[in-house]
Amino acid sequence: MIVTDLLAEDFRKYEYLHLEALPERGLLALVGGNESGKSSIGDAIAFALFGHSLAVDVTDSGKLVRWGSQAASVTLSFRQRGRHYRLARRVDPGGVQSASLWSVDEGRTLADTPVEVAQALKGVLGYDYPAFVRAFYWSQQISTDSKADTESLRAMAGVRAYLQLEQQLQQERQQETGGLEQVQSRMEALRQARDTLALDRDLLPELLDIRETLEDRQRGGGSLSRSITQSARSYPEDHATFHALLGRLKWLNRLAAVGIGAFLLLFVAGMLLSWLPGGFAWSGQEPEVLIRLGRTLLWGGMVVALMASGLLFWGWHAEQRRLPALRDRSIRFAASLANVVRQLGSSLEETLGERAEHYLVGRKVLMPPAQAAELDAQVQERLRQFDGLPERVRLFEADPASVGLQVPALMDDLERHNTALDGFVRVLDQDVVHEQTLVEQYQGLNQGLTDREAEARRHHHTMRVQDMALTLVQRASEHSAARFNSIVHKRCQALLADFTQAHYDSLEINTDFALRVLSREKGDFLDFEEISAGTQRQIALAMRVALANALAESTDAGQQLLFLDEPFAFFDPERTSATLQSLKEMTDGRVCQIWVTVQSVLDGMAGAYLVYCDGTQPEIAMIDDSREKKT
């Protein structure tokens, strides 16, 4: 960027300031004493471009308005990459700004608000305020701010963006680390809570199995009770029917036996008379009569045989029709009685199973095995009265009256047995509910622990990614810094020898942008703080000029200005003259318009464009057509 025209009204010391037809190449010297308005010209350029000066922030830009005025305005005409632009900015005492950027060549407005102007200018210039003030603007106020210079160097080298990204990644990693620590703390709390449950994982399945066994016994006892009650109710009638039917069958069997005997006698007699009538001659009957008699006896035997057969068939039919049903009921009744007797006579271990007995004894629901054995012996003694009862019932030999007395007693024992089983089941239900609650709590804690472990794995993965990203960012930052340092180092070598009159001709910039210079006299590199203040300013000025050239090349910004505010303070005449000569020679390169503020005209300024500033005369006037102007 090359300034071609500067117009300021009511800006700081100046009621009216107009620098026009400025040379695009060469040294421009702003000459004047303290408080003469030299620095205000640099502030006007900075304000026009970025809305504030070096000393006044944008929020306090109203302080740039000349005392007693309504507003300050600056119009800056400049050339960039062969194109001409005009930038106008205005601010009132309240800090409210307006700005416009025109393309003179195209005759159109590029931006018409401060925000739009800032965006458009960055595209036009290729840099923003931090780069401008650290590369193209040297001020008394920042020339000793090494920390600010370092930050500016980092920004121009592209390192600051990496450092900001690195800082952001480190903050995010710290957040991930904190998140991981919180997750691990919650995981430890969940583990402790889970371990304090003291859950026996095998207990609940065992309890469910025991309860199922007891419920099966309970259902079986209830089924037996209903079966016995029904069978006992029908037993007297079945007993009477069975014995009545059995008596009739016996009578029919006797009749059938008599009939069969009669049939045999008649058959034998008839056969003898029919076949051997001569053997009965002693009877005095004719053989024909005997034969007819024999045949009659045969027919009579056949009739008797048919009657006996009918009786047998009737008895068989009666037995097949009614006796099976009676016998089935008696068998079921007898089997139920036998099951009850066997169940009541069994030990608790046989009835409940070994696991159930041990568990119930442990829960103090059952008495210890020794006492249970005594009780079992008493039960066995009481059950002896029922010995043989099932078999007698099966054969209908048990007297209904006796059955009617014994069955209720047996049913009472069965009811007590079922009641005990019901109590056992209720105890188990309570324990099952308790264990299920523990299992649910355990599963909930375990699921929470699983979720936290997954979250911890995500944190670990994110941290690994962040570590890799940090490594890559650091490598990129080091590469960018090394490349930029190389460029600045090469450009600064020649300038350093010229500015220091060959006392120092080599420097070294490390990756942290710490500066060391090679002293020919001492034959070694010296830290920047070890050399004199005047030499420090010479070296710093050489660095600034090198930075300006490096930034102009790296951004392809074309020709650029360089504004140096009191760069020769604390310089001796020889150093000043040598530096001025180097600056004039530099104007043949990309940094071709160099502004310098000085207290007076110095040796070595021959051929420079001079602007005299006088604080008592705020207006600028042309003196002549020579290379001098006076304010």
pLDDT above 50 (res 628): no
Residue 502's pLDDT is 65
Per-residue H/E/C for 151-178? HHHHHHCCHHHHHHHHHHHHHHHHHHHH
Between the alpha carbon of residue 291 and those of residues 265, 269, 275, the distances in Å are 16, 11, 8
Nearest to 424, CA basis, from 219, 214, 205: 214
User: Does residue 440 sit within a domain?
Assistant: no
Beta strand 72-80 pairing with 2-11: antiparallel
Residue bearing tokens 């360089």:
562
Q: Residues 560, 562, 563, 567: what is their CA dihedral angle, to the nearest 10 degrees?
A: 180
Containing structural domain, residue 317: 203-398
Give the three-state DSSP class for 515: strand
Residue 54's pLDDT is 83
**Phi and psi torsions of 483, nearest 5°:** -65, -45
The C-alpha atoms of residue 396 and residue 385 are separated, in whole angstroms, by: 18
pLDDT above 50 (res 621): no
Q: Could you tell me the pLDDT band of residue 115, with boundaries at 50, 70 and 90?
A: very high
Burial of residue 46 (CB within 10 Å: 0-12, 13-18, 19+) is buried
Residue 620's pLDDT is 42
Per the CB < 8 A criterion, the answer to whether 610 and 26 are in contact is no
In tens, the pLDDT along 355-405 reads 676 777 777 665 555 545 554 555 566 666 677 778 888 887 788 887 777
pLDDT above 50 (res 192): yes
Which has the higher per-residue pLDDT, 375 or 608? Answer: 608
Average pLDDT over residues 596-624: 70
User: Does residue 153 sit within a domain?
Assistant: no
The C-alpha atoms of residue 58 and residue 616 are separated, in whole angstroms, by: 28
Amino acid at site 616: T
The C-alpha atoms of residue 133 and residue 307 are separated, in whole angstroms, by: 145
User: Does residue 541 sit within a domain?
Assistant: no
**Phi and psi torsions of 87, nearest 5°:** -120, 125
Distance of CA 564 to the CA centre of its chain: 57
Q: What is the DSSP letter of 98?
A: E
User: Does residue 128 sit within a domain?
Assistant: no
Between the alpha carbon of residue 441 and those of residues 73, 199, 364, 446, the distances in Å are 75, 10, 27, 8
Per the CB < 8 A criterion, the answer to whether 131 and 156 are in contact is yes
The C-alpha atoms of residue 222 and residue 339 are separated, in whole angstroms, by: 12
User: Does residue 334 sit within a domain?
Assistant: yes
Structure tokens at 43: 């502030």
Amino acid at site 132: F
Most confident of 378-392, 442-456, 574-588: 442-456
| Buried/exposed code over 102-112 (b: 16+ C-beta within 10 A; e: otherwise) | beeeeeeebbe
- How many domains does one find in the chain? 1
Beta strand 560-565 pairing with 591-598: parallel
User: Does residue 340 sit within a domain?
Assistant: yes
Which residues share a beta bridge with 31?
598, 612
User: Does residue 454 sit within a domain?
Assistant: no
Amino acid at site 476: A
User: Does residue 468 sit within a domain?
Assistant: no
Q: Could you tell me the pLDDT band of residue 465, with boundaries at 50, 70 and 90?
A: very high
Q: Could you tell me the pLDDT band of residue 622, with boundaries at 50, 70 and 90?
A: very low
The C-alpha atoms of residue 214 and residue 206 are separated, in whole angstroms, by: 12
